[in-house]
Structure 1
Amino acid sequence: MLLKKLKIAAALVDPGRKKRERKRAFLENGGLVLEKLVACCNGRPIPIRTFSYQQLVLATNNFDQRLILRKDGFYTLYNGSFEGRILSIKMYDDYKDLALMDIGISAKASAHKNILKLVGCCLETSIPSLVFEYAQNGVLIDQIYVSQRQGTPMLWQRRLKIARQIAHAIAYLHIGFSRPIIHRDIKPHNILLDQHDVPKHSNFSLSISIPEGETHVEDEVMGTYGFLCPSYISTNKITEKNDVYSFGMVLLGLLTGRRPYLFADEYLGEESELEPGENKFQPLKVYLSNRAMNEIVDPAILAEEGGASLEQQLQAVRQLGLTCVEDDPEIRPTMVDVTKELRRIERIVY
């Protein structure tokens, strides 16, 4: 509290201090962002617009809490408007390296229609802030998990299309560049939906590239519990199959409306009690392996009319999802094959 009062007093005594700090941040961050863009874009950085701090203040009504779309452990994502255009502003709380990586990969991959387009960034904040296109229909996690679903349940064909489009975006990251990009944090929290329900993959702060000529790269374990590949946790090795596992968990979530781990009352029933020493959590993939379809599928999907064709699609998606989350990475398909299989499943008409 005393430190905060001293800072306020200093600002009153020296009203130009904030301006000088923003100028210093602009110069420092400008060099770092350019360096990251050059590194990520093979020496040919993609030009992006720069926004002033005052423009972000105006766009978000001075960072109004009511405009927050999502808060993560590292950042806050605001919706705002500037010059008649609706935008999303991403403010990092800490970890400048994560913000720089997010800028570099987002700029490089923004050409894909299912990746959230980076419009520009603000260099005047202590950690560079990112400005993205607007995602009007929010975050996927708020629409698929039964425990926190908002509004009308998502129809099955809509879920299937979202899965196929996100799979295509991940395949693009893996094969569209000389060095495969591994996202490392694929989850419904990082998938946004625009006004037409087109999914947009986002948040490349943990992404890493595999060097040319190499099959993997090693790094400390980063990501989200439940979506992390078991072999990555045990070996620190990163390949494209890490993302396949994470996508598989997203796909199973779309099918079931459940998170990667179930609480005891979800798989035992509300009236059941745990045996002594029994874990109160059960992995979703284990639960799906030995249950009938009508026990595992999101009840909202089962309420739809579709007959035998719908049953075929649900069975095929369950099998694909379980193959994606196999413990042995060699058994998992590539994201290109996942995309092809989802396209085939979509063609099963009912």
Structure 2
Amino acid sequence: MAGKKRDKERERAFLDNGSKLLEKLITYCNGRPIPIRSYSCEELERATNNYNPSHLFHRDGKYEWYNAVSAKMSTHNNVLKLIECCLETQIPISVYESAANGSLSGTFNVTSDHDGAQHQREPLSWQSREIAHAISYLHTAFSRPIVHRDIKRGNVFLDQHDVAKLTKFSLSILIPECETHVEDDVCGTALFLCPNYTTTSYITEKVDVYSFGSFLLELLTRQKLHYLLRTDYFDVEDFEDDIKKFTINELVDPAILVGEGGSVLQQLQCVLQLAVICIEKDPEMRPTMVDVIKELRKIERFIL
């Protein structure tokens, strides 16, 4: 009897969680295999060794992320690909391609040599450029631009080769065809939210540009924004204006710059200037993500 009850609960959950949506996907694909397949509860339990804590690599509020399925199916190398799901549980389970090295939320870009010595990786050679590519892809690769709305370190995962992957698209929204913006409730992460969006509820691609600028500032300073704002440097209300007054030497921990040559310092100063432009209060003053990528490439070539 317990087994029958369990089966009925799973069937009900499957219907509630979107079996109809999967049926529509099959119809839209004209009988071709759909890109997202459905796992059973038993398959996921086997893959995670019954959700063994040793497989847990990230917690985000009420969500837990487990390493289990190894796959490489992303249409863009810097977007974490959703490949499977399980609709048999009360809370649906999503299965993504492997992100073996976890999230950036708990650490800044620190790596270890073979001898165990830690060192800082160059910010431009890693997360900033790769995530800029991912955001630009969302903005330009489809008939209607997709705005992520929650660009931050906690939504960037790393695969086994430390390739940065943008994920967590639950707040993403499409801009309607032939429209320049869409209106929606304000949601996202404080300090990464575009001021114009919070006052008007208007969403454009420039909302993501602002968040990316804040993301860049965290990478450059190796400080979380809310820690940076606790200093005497900045007024929360005028953060975008206050940041313009400082050089890279004044914002970055001096220990990070020890031994760096003048060209690297100039490069970092250029990145700071780019971040400042991205968080301009007026969205029209911000660059597009395509322009951001061009500028990052130009800055990289500066020291090559």
* TM-score, length of structure 1 as denominator length: 0.76
8 Å CA contact retained: 1:288, 1:296: no
Match of 1:76 among 64, 80, 88: 64
Q: What is aligned with 2:246?
A: 291
Do the aligned partners of residues 254 and 160 (structure 1) sit closer, same or farther apart at CA in structure 2, a change above 3 Å counting? farther
1:257 pairs with 2:227: no
Q: What is aligned with 1:219?
A: 184
Q: Match of 2:140, as an amino acid?
A: I
Q: What is aligned with 2:108?
A: 144
1:241 pairs with 2:188: no
Do the aligned partners of residues 321 and 264 (structure 1) sit closer, same or farther apart at CA in structure 2, a change above 3 Å counting? closer
8 Å CA contact retained: 2:109, 2:121: no
1:231 pairs with 2:196: yes
Q: Match of 1:31, as an amino acid?
A: K
Q: What is aligned with 1:165?
A: 130
1:30 pairs with 2:1: no
Q: What is aligned with 1:312?
A: 266
Do the aligned partners of residues 38 and 169 (structure 1) sit closer, same or farther apart at CA in structure 2, a change above 3 Å counting? farther
Q: What is aligned with 2:256?
A: 301
Please give the per-residue CA displacement for 1:18-37, whole angstroms capped at 9, x wherever unaligned.
12111222244221345579
Q: What is aligned with 2:42?
A: 54
Q: Match of 1:142, as an amino acid?
A: G
Q: What is aligned with 1:339?
A: 293
Do the aligned partners of residues 159 and 152 (structure 1) sit closer, same or farther apart at CA in structure 2, a change above 3 Å counting? farther
Q: Match of 2:248, as an amino acid?
A: M
Please give the per-residue CA displacement for 1:152-189, whole angstroms capped at 9, x wherever unaligned.
35322x54432111101101100100110000111000
Do the aligned partners of residues 46 and 320 (structure 1) sit closer, same or farther apart at CA in structure 2, a change above 3 Å counting? farther
1:155 pairs with 2:121: yes
C-alpha distance in 1 between matches for 2:62 and 2:206? 25
Do the aligned partners of residues 302 and 45 (structure 1) sit closer, same or farther apart at CA in structure 2, a change above 3 Å counting? farther
User: Post-superposition shift, 1:206?
Assistant: 0.6
Q: What is aligned with 2:169?
A: 204
Please give the per-residue CA displacement for 1:229-258, whole angstroms capped at 9, x wherever unaligned.
111100001000000000010011111111
Q: Match of 1:349, as an amino acid?
A: I
Q: Secondary structure at the match of 1:330?
A: helix
8 Å CA contact retained: 2:152, 2:192: yes
C-alpha distance in 2 between matches for 1:191 and 1:300? 25
Q: Match of 1:259, as an amino acid?
A: K
1:118 pairs with 2:82: yes
- The unaligned stretches of length 5 or more in structure 1 are 1-12, 88-106, 269-277
Q: Match of 2:152, as an amino acid?
A: K
User: Post-superposition shift, 1:221?
Assistant: 0.5
Please give the per-residue CA displacement for 1:275-315, whole angstroms capped at 9, x wherever unaligned.
xxx97x6876555322332221244531243x221122111
C-alpha distance in 2 between matches for 1:332 and 1:265? 26
Q: Secondary structure at the match of 1:206?
A: coil
- The unaligned stretches of length 5 or more in structure 2 are 111-116
* TM-score, length of structure 2 as denominator length: 0.86
Do the aligned partners of residues 45 and 228 (structure 1) sit closer, same or farther apart at CA in structure 2, a change above 3 Å counting? farther
8 Å CA contact retained: 2:35, 2:83: no
Q: Write the mapping of 1:178-193 to structure 2, written as runs, cut at 5 A.
A: 178-193=143-158
C-alpha distance in 2 between matches for 1:36 and 1:197? 33
Percent identity between the two aligned chains = 50
